[in-house]
Structure 1
Amino acid sequence: MTGIKMEDQALDADQVLDVTGLNCPMPLLKAKQALNIMDAGQTLLVKATDPGSVRDFKSFTDLSANQLLKSVENNNSYCYLILKGE
């Protein structure tokens, strides 16, 4: 497992995806690609800077088998911890 410390919170995940600097729709598309090659039950930590990603990742996980375990915002940076569904 790898992790990132953000806003005094340690976020551990099986895989980390850094999409900082990318704008919609790229953060979500890259996350979907990463999730497609992961096994169910694994976690993906996505680090982004696009403010629109807050809405995108919430909608994506609401409409898919994946679960948004945590969403953290700090100084225009966003981290999403996603559990890969079945």
Structure 2
Amino acid sequence: MKEPKYIPQPIDTSDIELPEELNPLLEAMAKNVHEVWAQTRIAQGWQYGPERNDAEKRHPMLIPYEDLPEEEKVYDRNTSVETLKLILKLGFIIDKR
């Protein structure tokens, strides 16, 4: 039986620009994305290793967010940017109390 072809259809958020005052939230979200990912990996038995090795469950990014290479932080930030842009696109207001 052939699997149906999946075609992702994310909501287009290219018309949304994040206000600069959301930058601290963006960075906090990016850090939390990494923390949740790392916590899940560690719970699955993964450990830090200088090179990724799926068979031995070792990963070089099992380190604190602050110690990540910039390109890895960008990956986590992009996830957060798109989430925040979607929230705004759907009409929600982000307000710090």
Shorter-chain TM-score above 0.5: no
Q: Which has the larger radius of gyration?
A: 2
Give the TM-score of the pair, scaled to structure 2. 0.26
Give the TM-score of the pair, scaled to structure 1. 0.29
| Greater fraction of residues in strand | 1
